[in-house]
Amino acid sequence: MRVHRIYKSFGKKNAVTDLSLTVGKNQSLGILGPSGCGKTTLLRLIAGLEIPDKGEIRIGNKVVYSSKNGKFIPPEKRNVGMVFQDLALWPHMTVREHIGFVLKSKKIKGMDNKKKIEETLKLLNLSSLSESYPKDLSGGEKQRVAIARALAQKPQVLLLDEPLSNLDQILKRKFKEEFNKLRKDLDVSTVYVTHNFAELEGVSENIAIMQEGRIIQSGKISEIYDNPKNEFVEKILD
């Protein structure tokens, strides 16, 4: 997946400015930045929930947005999975219905559909909760449903927006283990956004530091850690 020189402003406020990044197949890129730096907007641009003002976005070999030739592929045709910051589980659907709803959008029906639902439920250890509604789930369980929903469609790109913000330390550690295991099985490029450096350790090989809509430094975690570009980077890695 490749984002090339995109811009996005809301009124007078520039949310994303001249931003480029590349995430290889099966790679995970962590984006680190304080709240309000444009991280969420970046994810929404990749997903197609917002339209950039300028630039180009590619997913696989497909151009999904290009300002040059006015191309815009709507979100439902991008095959992007996303875990939202507040999870955004549908209150009127059970866990099983969440997965079924995703598969239905990909026109997977009948026996195939049933099998896939069971598979996904099992993958995220949700089989026993399949008939529960979100309001009856704990924080960690909701988390797993949100991830199951994002993965059920076998996305090419997985976007995670502060996925651990509502979890305690133990659950956070558990999530990392599970997530790394999942990632090995699924060919997916991941963009993981957070304001907390600790969350990225052991999950993302590469990170990018974002400030006021721009990426100010990127590279391997160890490289940046050893060689912070400025005080801002130093502080956010602390």
Tokens of 117: 């639902």
136 binds another protein (CB under 8 A): no
User: Least distance from C-beta 79 to another protein, angstroms?
Assistant: 9
- Tokens 């003002």 label which residue? 53
Nearer to another protein, 72 or 232 (CB): 72
84 binds another protein (CB under 8 A): yes
Neighbours of 174 (CB within 10 A): 14
Nearer to another protein, 10 or 202 (CB): 10
Nearer to another protein, 32 or 158 (CB): 158
Q: Give the Cα separation of 123 and 186 in Å (integer).
A: 11
Residue 9's region, left for phi above 0, alpha for psi from -120 to 50, else beta, is beta
107 binds another protein (CB under 8 A): no
Which residue among 5, 26, 36, 90 contacts another protein (CB under 8 A)? 90
Neighbours of 168 (CB within 10 A): 10
Nearer to another protein, 84 or 175 (CB): 84
60 binds another protein (CB under 8 A): no
Which residue among 6, 19, 21, 50 contacts another protein (CB under 8 A)? 50
Q: Helix count (H) and strand count (E) of the chain?
A: 8, 11
Tokens of 94: 């059970």
Question: Taking contact as CB under 8 A, which single stretch among the options 14-22, 40-48, 123-131, 224-232 is the one that binds another protein?
Answer: 40-48
Tokens of 14: 């520039």
Closest CA to 165 of 186, 180, 146: 146
DSSP 187: -
Neighbours of 156 (CB within 10 A): 18
User: Least distance from C-beta 161 to another protein, angstroms?
Assistant: 9
Q: Give the Cα separation of 36 and 33 in Å (integer).
A: 8
User: Least distance from C-beta 51 to another protein, angstroms?
Assistant: 9
Tokens of 232: 């801002």
Q: Give the Cα separation of 58 and 47 in Å (integer).
A: 11
12 binds another protein (CB under 8 A): no
Nearer to another protein, 30 or 48 (CB): 48
User: Least distance from C-beta 219 to another protein, angstroms?
Assistant: 30
Question: Taking contact as CB under 8 A, which single stretch among the options 81-89, 118-126, 174-182, 219-227 is the one that binds another protein?
Answer: 81-89
36 binds another protein (CB under 8 A): no
Give the interface with another protein as residue ranges (CB under 8 A).
44, 47-50, 74-76, 78, 80-82, 84-88, 90-92, 101-102, 105-106, 149, 153
